[in-house]
A and B are shown apart, each in its own frame.
Chain A
């Protein structure tokens, strides 16, 4: 899979805390990536096995909003992302 700078920016918040589950809205805020770029990257990473996702466990009627899709790094995704950042150096995103 081709890794772009935007892909690294998407991965970076997950590496800060690999157990976090983040929605697309969360990632847009933290990575500052436009939605048109973010969602294809999320699908791409999930297709490649870097991410897994699930629906938020809430009742939309009770919380007054639709369910969010939550993404989380898989074990292999974490290993590959860590290796990737180690080879690139984290300064690339600074």
Chain B
């Protein structure tokens, strides 16, 4: 029974940890499938987290915070597109520039606006009448089913009690899959990442498709950021993205640029994180597994995958190359 509870708690934590990764990985999917390497997920998440938290505080509404965060993500997406699509800038360098800009801008503006060392004020502040945090949702009958053996635990602990954004992330996966593989837009987007010349000769604007891809990417990354600040921590803390943008990229690659694979990879990263959190001092036989090893596992696995040792991770063919018509 105890292991069962532990299992539930781990899975519960998994969903919470995986949510921003899922949003970010889906964001990365749109960008990379259109042929643009997206190192900038980290910066987009961070910037949106800040924008969302700041807006939520000022307007005392988590929903406006969410809109603001998504807007910030889109702005960053547009900047990314401006550099890489309009000016054929190096995609990786542009991505790094945005990451660093985000880190600096969020800290500096945060300090300037709120004078709290870069944090935004707490979104739950009863003294000042501020309640701008997303609260966890309780699914119907969760309370009453709590004590029902097995099903009750699963329902009330695992399924219920998450932030809205968690459910949104899980819902986003099939929606993104549908957009990517069942709509005209998705077909064209995937084509752009494989062979932009073919798309061009078919009469479709490569520039327009890539801009749209980066806008969607920015929006989804925005949701990841908003989740971190407006839902989980109830405030923005400098550098709170803590590498999640890169992990999401790794998850995307691990998942072979497919929503289903990305979801599984994100969940895997989440489980590893949840287990790591609970297993200070775990052992195999008499050897203690260092918690750092478990933390490093997702990154090690990504490298192994990239080396082509677990199946081939075949990136979209035209990724990383700016598109220019030949013979200008």
Chains A and B bind each other = no
A contact residues vs B (CB 8 Å cutoff)? none
Which B residues contact A (CB, under 8 angstroms)?
none
